[in-house]
Each structure stands twice: as structure tokens, then as C-alpha cells.
Amino acid sequence: MELNEINQNGKNHANNGTNGDNKIIEHVQHIQEILANEDIVEVLFKGNRRGFYISTNFDTIQPDDKVVVEAENGVDLGIVTYIGASAKARVRCCHKARSIKHKVVREADDEDLERYFINTAEEPSVVKKTRELVEQFKLDMKVTEAEWQLDRQRLTIYFTAPQRIDFRELVKELARVFKTRIELRQISTREETKRMGSGFGPCGLNLCCTSFLADFNHVTLEHARLQQLSNNVAKLSGYCGRLKCCLVYEIDTYSEAFKHYPQLQSRIETEEGLAKLIKVDIFKQISTLYFPDAGKYKQITYDELKNYMSSNKVLPPAEEDLRNALGDGNIQVRRDIHGEEYIVE
């Protein structure tokens, strides 16, 4: 490759990066402008699917009202869950930064509700027919649910599969049978659980995904390690068999707190001999030391630990200790097709 080609490629990459940054900035500004100047409502659809819509001209809308909203190619019907400041807070905390461009069209009337119930009644037969076609085309996929858009301009069929599926022929046949636009949407195990619409977590509360999560965060075993949770399959895995969504809720707090502590397994030269830092309670500000030679444990305050740090008595962890700390025993971490980690014994 000639030098001028390399320079030109470099310029292209730089321009692409700049364009990408500009798009992100413009997108954030768009969301901020919407939140500042428009009324927002959160709307719940079938299968715990949620979305945010502009409702500036609908002052009378209240939670639990049924509304007709704009969709990609037509309109759809859902139930209002949050309005006003609560909806805007939901956008900031629970919604990945996507564009909010669709609006509330009207409050649902009896005709809209009748059409909705007719559509819902037909969806099981759609699932049955689709499963028959999947078997006919010998596709390795599990059809879980179907959802008609209110105006029947779109039929969305949800499925799970262990890998990417070439379903072009299936889509053609479905379009011929149902005479509408077909969307085959491959969903993750998390999304499948969310669409089930019920269930309780070990905390005793409704599953996060069915009660308030608008989007999923990427959860890894590193989130559990940072919070010093035991590598227990039952405790770390959720109803869906993937790592619990709640593992990310406090991760920013832990990440910020651990900036002020030595790395776990660090060696500390104390008056009682060489010790290892094996646990940190960031809330009580108590650190647990283990003395290998004496086989004993000792808890010290953050001030005591800080004194060791300022006296240069904290040494990096030994490589063997790090390997042992990161080892998961009989636990193996795997990733599914969506990049979600799950634990197997």
C-alpha cells in the first residue's frame, strides 16, 4: 500500500470517528430537547414491551389509560404506565438512549379495543401456523409468540434459536398466508422471560424485567466479582438462566469505592506479619486480612488500611493468589448468541 493511501485511510478513519462522536452528541441533545420541551408518557404493550411517546397535546392522559400511538408503519395500542416527571425520570434511568419520535395519536375508543381483542384472539393460531412452517422448512428455531399491530399493518413473530437463522423463505410464506408485513424477531432468553409477564425473584419481588426494566444491560461475571459475591450458580443466575439483571444496579457505587482501596489479594506488611487483603466491606469501611502463616483472620478499619498504604506497606498481589482468586472452581462461563454470559457447573 502506498503512503498516500495509508494517509487517506487514516483520514477516513478519523472522519468516521468524528462523525460517530457528532452523531452521539446530536442524539443526546435530541433526547435532552425532547425532555425539556415535550410531555412524555411510557406505554406498556403486550409481552411487557415498553416505549416512550410524546403526549404534549393530551393533558388528560393518566396511568392505566389505554392509548393509540404511532408505530413504524401505522398505529398500535398500549396502556399508559408513567406520565410527566415520572416518565422523564424513567427515560433517564431505565431506557437506552434511543430516539423518541413517535406520538400519542388518541385515547383508545371502543372500536380500538374491539380490534385489539380480535387481534389477540387470533395470535395463538398464528403461532401454530408458524410452527408448522418452521417444521416444514426444517429450521432450528422455537416460535414463542406472535403480536399483531393494532391496524394489522405488521405481524411480529418472536422466536429463540441457538444461532442465526436464514428465514427468508419462511418470511415469504408467512407474508403470503397472512397478507401483511412480517417481522421475525429473534429474542434472547432474557427477553423471552420478560415476555412471559410474571414471576418472582429470590428477593420476593416481581422480576425486574417484567415490572420496570425498559431495556437490558449487559451483565458479566465481572460484575459479581467486583461486588465480592460467591460464584454460586443458584445465587447469581436469574429466572431466565442468565446472570441476574440486578448485578449491575450498584456496580457504579462499587467501582467508585474501590478506587480508594488496594486490589484484592494485595499483600500487606503488618506488625503481625504478612497478610492478604481478601475482602472489603465498602459500606462499613471494614477490610478483612488473612495471615497465611498464622492461619488467622483480622478486620481493620479504612483508616488503618490507609496508614499501611501511605507507609508503602501494601504490595501487589502474588500471581498465584490472583489466579486462585479469579478461578471459579467447577464453574464455567459461556456466552450465548446474544453475547449474554451464563454459568454452567
Render 214-238 in DSSP notation, one character per residue: SSPPP--HHHHHHTT----HHHHB-
Res 5: pLDDT: 38
Which pLDDT does position 10 carry in this prediction?
43
In a shared domain, residues 147 and 171: yes
Measured between alpha carbons, how far is 56 from 195 in angstroms, rounded to an integer?
A: 29
**Pair 141, 76 in one domain:** no
pLDDT tens-digit readout, 110-164 = 999 999 999 999 999 999 999 999 999 999 999 999 999 999 999 999 999 888 8
Residues 146 and 79 in one domain: no
pLDDT of 158-201, one tens digit each?
A: 999 888 888 999 999 999 999 999 999 998 888 888 887 777 88
| Claim to verify: residue 29 and residue 64 sit in the same structural domain | yes
**Average pLDDT over the chain, rounded to whole?**
84
Does residue 231 belong to any structural domain of this protein? no
Residue 112's contacts (CB-CB under 8 Å, 6 or more residues apart) are 66, 68, 77, 150
Instruction: Please compute Rg for the chain using Cα positions.
Output: 26
Residues 61 and 143 occupy one common structural domain: no
Give yes or no: residues 11 and 72 share one domain: yes
Q: Would the pTM count as exceeding 0.75? A: no
Is 265 contained in some domain? no
Tell me how many domains the chain contains. 2
CATH code (residue 128): 3.30.300
Out of 81, 112, 143, pick the residue that ends a domain: 112
State the pLDDT at residue 8: 45
Q: Are residues 37 and 55 in the same domain?
A: yes
DSSP bridge pairs for 159:
143, 186
What is the model's pLDDT at position 225?
84
- Which pLDDT score is estimated for 1? 38
73 shares a domain with 15: yes
**pLDDT at residue 331 in the model:** 56
Tell me the one-letter amino acid at 326.
Answer: L
Residue 241 belongs to some domain of the structure: no
The residue out of 192, 211, 229 marking a domain boundary is 192
Specify if 182 maps to a domain.
yes
Query: 60 phi and psi, to 5 degrees?
Result: -90, -5
pLDDT in tens, 255-284: 999 999 999 999 999 999 999 999 999 999
Q: Note the pLDDT tens digit of each residue in 298-315.
A: 999 999 999 999 999 999
* Residue 340 binned pLDDT confidence (cut-offs 50, 70, 90): low
Is 254 within the bounds of a domain?
A: no
Residue 155 is part of which domain span?
122-192
Question: Does residue 107 share a domain with residue 51?
Answer: yes
- Domain contains 103: yes
Residue 169 lies in a domain: yes
- The conformational region for residue 195 under phi > 0 = left, psi -120 to 50 = alpha, else beta, is alpha
